[in-house]
Amino acid sequence: MIGPIYVMWLRQIKRYTRSKSRMIGSFAQPILFLLAFGFGFGPIYQKAGGGDYIQFLAPGIIAMSTLFTAMFTGIEVIWDRRFGFLKETLVAPVPRIQIMIGRTLGGATVAFAHGILVAIIAMFVGFKITNPMNIPLALLFLFLIALLFTALGTAVASKLEDMQAFPLIMNFLIMPIFFLSGALFPLNGLPKAIEIFTKINPLTYGVNGLRATLTGGVQTGLMMNLGVMIVVTIVIGLIGSYMFSKIEI
């Protein structure tokens, strides 16, 4: 069982690292957000009594970069289906669940590494980790974010057949998840409808967990954030595995 999973895991990593332009380009957005939002809204945030905005913003941008990379690696299923790569994989005498696990772990590894690199970049901008002892727990939150949204991307892509649906995924799924997660602004005092969405948004708990472990700022209990992330990741992983197993080639 380990062999096919390892092969798919390694294939996903090699696939990403082969595209140098993609690797470089994927860092442009988080750097832009850190610089434009961090220094643009920093004085306003500080005058409002919020403190150092870079300290608040950086965990959200780390989560954002992980989210986008994870979803994109999951959605590559659509690309593989269109050009026949998926058929070549699925006709192999290997259970589809192993293919799904390998793909998900490979995509999550790429997204996880991407988040770590963005965290390092954030330190050059002025971000400081207040408690280095919490770094292992922060890495756990980061990996859960990567794993969850790679599985979600695969689940969504399993029901789509062409890349024309990709803008819809961006506009109606990824962007609301990001903007309503508390990554860019505090979630206090929001309208009731938006507050409900933030509470059912799994990325909210990932951002809270990263912020708590890296800077000490948190809105809900740390263990609750971790528990929610673990449960949702397992559920989405099971759903994604089922939907992937039903792909018709």
pLDDT for the residue 9 = 63
What is the C-alpha separation between 133 and 113, in angstroms, rounded?
20
Decide: helix, strand or coil at residue 40: helix
One digit per residue, pLDDT tens: the chain, 249 residues? 566 666 666 666 666 666 655 666 677 888 888 888 888 877 887 777 667 888 899 999 999 999 998 888 877 777 777 766 666 666 666 777 887 888 888 889 989 999 999 999 999 988 998 888 889 999 999 999 999 999 998 888 887 777 677 667 767 888 899 999 988 888 888 888 888 989 999 999 999 999 999 987 665 588 899 999 999 999 998 998 888 777 766
Give the model confidence (pLDDT) of 193-223 as tens digits: 888 989 999 999 999 999 999 987 665 588 8
What is the pTM for the complete model shown? 0.89
Residue 177 burial class via C-beta count within 10 angstroms: exposed 0-12, middle 13-18, buried 19 and up: buried
Residues 94 and 170 sit within 8 Å (Cβ to Cβ): no
What is the C-alpha separation between 95 and 115, in angstroms, rounded?
31
Domain ranges of the chain: 2-245
pLDDT for the residue 84 = 63
**Four-CA torsion 69, 158, 228, 60, nearest 10 degrees:** 20
Taking residue 120's Cβ as centre, other Cβ atoms within 10 Å add up to 11
Residues 214 and 115 sit within 8 Å (Cβ to Cβ): no
Helix (H) or strand (E) holding 176: helix 175-179
Give the model confidence (pLDDT) of 26-35 as tens digits: 778 888 888 8
What is the C-alpha separation between 144 and 142, in angstroms, rounded?
5
What is the C-alpha separation between 201 and 183, in angstroms, rounded?
12
pLDDT for the residue 249 = 62
pLDDT for the residue 242 = 84
Cα torsion 110, 103, 92, 79: sign? negative
pLDDT for the residue 35 = 86
